[in-house]
Structure 1
């Protein structure tokens, strides 16, 4: 079409324009590639206690946004929808028995939150599906610690056989060989051993829309929240507690420290007598050790708090992303995300001290902080075309 003076011209060289991975499809659902995602039932009780279940739903939405037809394979369908998260109510789901009775053309089968009998896996491979296992937990640590500290425990963590490939998240690259050999696949011949990590704020946005960080007002104290599970060395409160002890000794600021899941630590006499009772923050009543509390409730009670995280071998912590999404200052030691939030190195108390001081200017830097947070969240978004393209190649 010829151009005339005054007709619209758009200079698209000024922006980085991304092209969607998949075009809008006119195909009905039954004509799309079917991806089965195996998971235990997702309920209001477990969706925030284990990030694994959130990951399942985010992957479900990613495959759907790629023009595929994801279906959840669950151990049992919910008898009532009263205890089911709102988003899960809209998903397609079935149990393995239904699949065996009435087979459907499956493109890919991925185990994430549940292991299925190898007989079912073999059946899926017979009807043309590729069969994959995706580990989103630190299985090497779990497999070392469980027999040491829980000798009577037994659960179906690894169900071996009839898998085409075994995958781990990028931040668990250190145990991809272990995962593969344990499941009788050869990492040297697999096309992939790691797959892109995906996260979306849908769950936290659904429950904390009205909660955003704000500066302290009135008599509100300088407050720090430590919210690690304290069930493994991977995510423990010890270093954050010592870092805040170091900070308190140097500044003598009137601080308030809340340790969620802290009651668990106090049950151990060694921790209480040899470490906890020797601290100035304990002697001066600056620290409270409380029971379990979910992240939404904690953010609601302390909208002005700074969160202090620490991990070993567990860099991609979804709590970091939740806090960034809600603008909370978060101190963390994840090397992979060192450009975002307030990063301190390893277990260095001096490095943590310097980052704590930087949080003083959080209000001044809030819009910059938001920009950083949105950049990181988009990097791992299930709607990011680059992430979708990589997943498509993997499948």
Structure 2
């Protein structure tokens, strides 16, 4: 196992800033990786495509990160050990340049690439003609645990060794002050905050669960907010085939009960201990869920990997989801301390300060360097 100080470069989107960090989980993941690598004693550089006047960038997590283009690295002859393609695709010319600087190439997939590829193939507009998967000069691919199902797909696609890297998260970007000011509400609200951009994370099952509970106990919750929901609310198919069958989303039958709203940061939505109702398909470790645990928000979810926390229901089961939602609305306050302790225990397992997490990344780095 290598103990010397290494230099890593991680690609990140050009427009990264504090303002858009919350809207992009991959960018947060890159910063967590940078902080982890520095904890392991290594140097990190952020890679962008567009040259910047300022050669350092800082985020709420306090650090100043060096930021360069590949051409600038070549001009300065900055030698690298590993280049991580993660937040922005690196073209063949860039890969060749990085290889000449001594870098091994590791592609890190934080998204559910297999399902995304299916969606592009069958539902795309045909305009996505750029090359996403570049096997040329790719030594290793890392995927996160929730996407283990796509490991062999990525192996064949990239002709590289594919390994699972631990999920990592820190509350670095969250306002600590907000946590101490939260209060309970007599009758809680429900929030659904899925992105609604894909079949992987969308609000259809949560809306169905809300309807199922509303039919039996309409007064058990105050209001429900489908955040990021404007696209669904305007969709003719939803209006004609789903909402028309549901009382809770029908403004004529049940006014002022379910609201569809634009996107909002988590800490803007949750000023009280209201309920987060979520659903995923093959995407069970989400930063949104970790934020809920950090703030001790009662979370209703279908993530097997997080079964020890929150209120679990399996798969797409709207009826069991209804009962989990009922429990979250009625039991969280009385069991708050127990949930708080379980939440802390879970978050420790994904912390960059966790020795087990650090050891696994050391092993992955060694593998990448030895290829």
Match of 2:265 in 1: 294
Match of 1:232 in 2: 198
SS in structure 2 of the partner of residue 142 of structure 1: helix
Larger Rg: 1
Paired with 2:179 and 2:308, the residues of 1 have a C-alpha distance of: 24
Paired with 1:201 and 1:52, the residues of 2 have a C-alpha distance of: 15
Matched, 1:386 2:352: no
- CA deviations over 1:216-252 (Å, ceiling 9, x no partner): 15xxx43100111112111111111111111111123
Q: Does the 8 Å contact 1:167/1:195 carry over to 2?
A: yes
Shift of 1:43: 1.4
Matched, 1:305 2:305: no
Indicate which of 365, 374, 378 corresponds to 2:335.
365
Match of 1:162 in 2: 137
1:81-120 → structure 2 map (5 Å cutoff): 85-87=59-61, 90-120=64-94
Match of 2:233 in 1: 266
RMSD: 2.4
Match of 2:169 in 1: 199
Q: Does the 8 Å contact 2:58/2:65 carry over to 1?
A: no
Shift of 1:88: 7.0
Match of 1:5 in 2: none
SS in structure 2 of the partner of residue 92 of structure 1: strand
Indicate which of 319, 323, 331 corresponds to 2:288.
319
Shift of 1:369: 1.2
Match of 1:27 in 2: none
Matched, 1:353 2:353: no
Paired with 1:392 and 1:84, the residues of 2 have a C-alpha distance of: 26
SS in structure 1 of the partner of residue 211 of structure 2: helix
Paired with 2:63 and 2:49, the residues of 1 have a C-alpha distance of: 16
1:7-86 → structure 2 map (5 Å cutoff): 32-41=5-14, 42-78=16-52, 85-86=59-60
SS in structure 1 of the partner of residue 268 of structure 2: helix
Give structure 2 stretches of 5+ with no counterpart. Answer: 366-371
What TM-score results when the alignment is normalised by the length of structure 1? 0.84
Shift of 1:260: 0.7
Paired with 2:211 and 2:334, the residues of 1 have a C-alpha distance of: 26
Shift of 1:46: 2.6
Paired with 2:64 and 2:301, the residues of 1 have a C-alpha distance of: 35
SS in structure 2 of the partner of residue 128 of structure 1: coil
Number of equivalent positions: 355
SS in structure 2 of the partner of residue 167 of structure 1: strand
Match of 1:210 in 2: 178
Q: Does the 8 Å contact 2:277/2:325 carry over to 1?
A: no
What TM-score results when the alignment is normalised by the length of structure 2? 0.89
Paired with 2:19 and 2:78, the residues of 1 have a C-alpha distance of: 32
Moved more, 228-237 or 121-130: 121-130
Q: Does the 8 Å contact 2:273/2:298 carry over to 1?
A: no
- CA deviations over 1:347-387 (Å, ceiling 9, x no partner): 11222122223221212222211111111111011111111
Query: Using a 3 Å threshold, how does the CA distance of structure 1 residues 222 and 210 change in structure 2: closer, same or farther?
Result: closer
Match of 1:279 in 2: 246
Q: Does the 8 Å contact 1:110/1:131 carry over to 2?
A: yes
